[in-house]
Amino acid sequence: MPTVEARLILGDCATELKQLADESIDLIFTSPPYADSRVNTYGGIKPDQYVEWFLPISQELLRVLKPSGTFILNIKEKVVNGERHTYVIELILAMRKQGWLWTEEFIWHKKNSYPGKWPNRFRDAWERLLQFNKHRKFNMYQEAVMIPMGDWAERRLKRLSQTDQIRDVSRVGSGFGKRVANWIGRQKVYPTNVLHLATETKNRNHSAVFPDDLPEWFIRLFTLEGDWVLDPFMGSGTTVRVAQRLGRNAIGIEILPEYYQLAKNQIPACVQLPARQLSLLEDTEPLGHRAKEHNEAFIDRYSRTLNLFTQQFIQDFCDDGRIDWEKLVRFNSARLANGQSIR
Ligand SMILES: C[S@@+](CC[C@H](N)C(=O)[O-])C[C@H]1O[C@@H](n2cnc3c(N)ncnc32)[C@H](O)[C@@H]1O
C-alpha cells in the first residue's frame, strides 16, 4: 500500500535546507517569525535586518522548489515608530531580483481578531500570503478549492435581464466582461483570493499556529497526493500534519527543540495513504472512523472532476461548503449494515 513520509528536522533552516535535493519540493508553505515580534517566545529579527536575514533562506528555497512548484509566504509588516515598516515590500523586490516571480497575493482575513482600541488605527484583521513561483506556468488545481455557488445565484439567475444574456463589458475600460447567463446550471464557482478563517491558538502550545484550514487550502490548490510539501519554519507542525492527512509527503524544519518535540509527538514519520478500496468491511477499527477516513480520500479524488456524482454529493452531504461528516458516516454505516457498497 502506498505510504507518505513526514521528515521533521531540528535546526536552523538556513543550514538544514542545504541537505534537501535540488528541485524536489512541490509546495513551500510557511510563516517565518515576523520582524521583532514574539521576542519572548522564539526571538525576532530587527525590521531593518529582515531582508538581509531572509534572502539566504529564500535562495535555498528557490533551489529546492521544483520548476512547477509554488512558494506561499505568510507575512505581515509591523508598525515601527508610528508607520508600517517597509520590509515586506523590500523583501518582495529583493526576491524578484533573486529570481522569483511574485505571482499573486492572498489575504487571510482573521474572522475572530481580538477587539481593541488604538489612537490612530483600527484592529488588524488580515495577513498577507504572498505567492512566489519560478515560472509563469506552475501546477495549480483550482477545482480542488471550488465553493458552492450560494443562494444569490438562484435569486439572481431567476431574473435575467437582456444584458445578462450577452457579454457585458466593463464600462471603466478594464477589459473585464461577464455573461451572467453562463452561470445557469452550475453548482460551484472559483473562490476569491481572500480567505475568511478564524485564528487558532487554544490548546496548541505555540503562540503563532496556523488554523488547519489555511495550509489545507493551499495544499489542495497547489499539490496532488504523493507530492512534497515543505515548511522551513515549522513551529508546532501544522503544515506537516495537514499535508500528511491529505496524503502528501512533508518536511518541516524547526529551530526550537520544544516546538520540534511538540510536532514530533503528533506526527508519525510514515503513514499509509487512506484506503481506496472497500477494505473497510474487513476492518476491526470502529466503523465510523474508518468510514470517515475512506470518505476523505474518496472525496479528495473525485472533487477534482466536477462530474454529476460530485454535484449530487455536495447537495446531499455538504452544508455551507463543508462536509457534514455525521450525516455522511450515518449514511455509509447504514449502507454497510445492509450489505451495500459505500458512497
Ligand atoms: C510563526 S512560527 C510558525 C508557526 C507554525 N505555522 C505553526 O502553525 O505552528 C515560526 C517558527 O519558526 C521557528 N524559527 C525561527 N527561526 C527559525 C530558523 N532559522 N529555522 C527554523 N525555524 C525557525 C520559530 O521557533 C517558530 O516556531
109-165 confidence digits (pLDDT tens): 998 877 778 888 888 899 999 999 999 999 999 999 998 877 766 676 667 777 776
Average pLDDT value for the chain: 83
The response to whether residue 256 sits with its C-beta less than 6 Å from ligand 1 reads yes
- Strand 126-133 relative to strand 147-148, pairing: unpaired
What pLDDT score does 39 carry?
52
The predicted model gives 75-93 an average pLDDT of 92
The predicted model gives 291-310 an average pLDDT of 56
Using the predicted structure, report yes or no on whether residue 42 has a pLDDT greater than 70: no
The response to whether residue 275 sits with its C-beta less than 6 Å from ligand 1 reads no
Using the predicted structure, report yes or no on whether residue 249 has a pLDDT greater than 90: yes
86 versus 206: the higher-pLDDT residue is: 86
250, 6 contact by CB (below 8 A): yes
- Rounded to the nearest angstrom, the distance between the alpha carbon of 235 and the centre of ligand 1 is 4
Fold of 3-147+190-273: Rossmann fold (3.40.50)
- Rounded to the nearest angstrom, the distance between the alpha carbon of 247 and the centre of ligand 1 is 23
- Rounded to the nearest angstrom, the distance between the alpha carbon of 86 and the centre of ligand 1 is 22
For atom 26 of ligand 1, the residue with the nearest CA is: 235
Q: How far apart are CA 279 and CA 272, in angstroms?
A: 14
What pLDDT score does 309 carry?
65
What pLDDT score does 206 carry?
63
For residue 30, the ligand 1 atom closest to its alpha carbon is: 6
243 versus 81: the higher-pLDDT residue is: 243
Using the predicted structure, report yes or no on whether residue 289 has a pLDDT greater than 60: no
The predicted model gives 244-267 an average pLDDT of 96
For residue 210, the ligand 1 atom closest to its alpha carbon is: 8
The response to whether residue 236 sits with its C-beta less than 6 Å from ligand 1 reads yes
Q: Is the dihedral of CA 108, 90, 92, 210 positive or negative?
A: negative
The predicted model gives 28-45 an average pLDDT of 74
- The percent of residues in the chain predicted with pLDDT above 70, rounded, is 73
For atom 18 of ligand 1, the residue with the nearest CA is: 12
For atom 8 of ligand 1, the residue with the nearest CA is: 209
What pLDDT score does 334 carry?
78
- The percent of residues in the chain predicted with pLDDT above 90, rounded, is 50
59 versus 2: the higher-pLDDT residue is: 59
What pLDDT score does 285 carry?
45
Which of 214, 234, 258, when mutated, tests ligand 1's pocket best, judged by the most ligand atoms within 8 Å of its CB?
Answer: 234
The response to whether residue 238 sits with its C-beta less than 6 Å from ligand 1 reads yes
- Rounded to the nearest angstrom, the distance between the alpha carbon of 67 and the centre of ligand 1 is 25
CA atoms within 13 A on the CB side of 292: 11
Poorest-pLDDT segment among 190-199, 280-289, 316-325: 280-289
pLDDT, tens digit, 9 for 90 and up, residues 17-33: 999 999 999 999 999 99
Report which of 17, 27, 22 is spatially closest to residue 228, judged by C-alpha positions: 27
The response to whether residue 215 sits with its C-beta less than 6 Å from ligand 1 reads no
CA 289 → CA 125, 168, 247, distances in Å?
36, 50, 17
The response to whether residue 255 sits with its C-beta less than 6 Å from ligand 1 reads yes
pLDDT, tens digit, 9 for 90 and up, residues 188-237: 889 999 999 888 665 556 666 889 999 999 999 999 999 999 999 999 99
What pLDDT score does 279 carry?
41
341 versus 11: the higher-pLDDT residue is: 11
The predicted model gives 79-107 an average pLDDT of 96
For residue 52 the three cell numbers come to 538581509
State the Rg of the chain over Cα.
22
Using the predicted structure, report yes or no on whether residue 283 has a pLDDT greater than 50: no
Using the predicted structure, report yes or no on whether residue 330 has a pLDDT greater than 90: no
- Rounded to the nearest angstrom, the distance between the alpha carbon of 96 and the centre of ligand 1 is 23
The predicted model gives 34-44 an average pLDDT of 61
**Domain coordinates in residue numbering, the chain:** 3-147+190-273, 150-183, 277-337
Using the predicted structure, report yes or no on whether residue 325 has a pLDDT greater than 50: yes
What pLDDT score does 221 carry?
98
For residue 32, the ligand 1 atom closest to its alpha carbon is: 10
Using the predicted structure, report yes or no on whether residue 15 has a pLDDT greater than 90: yes
What pLDDT score does 78 carry?
84
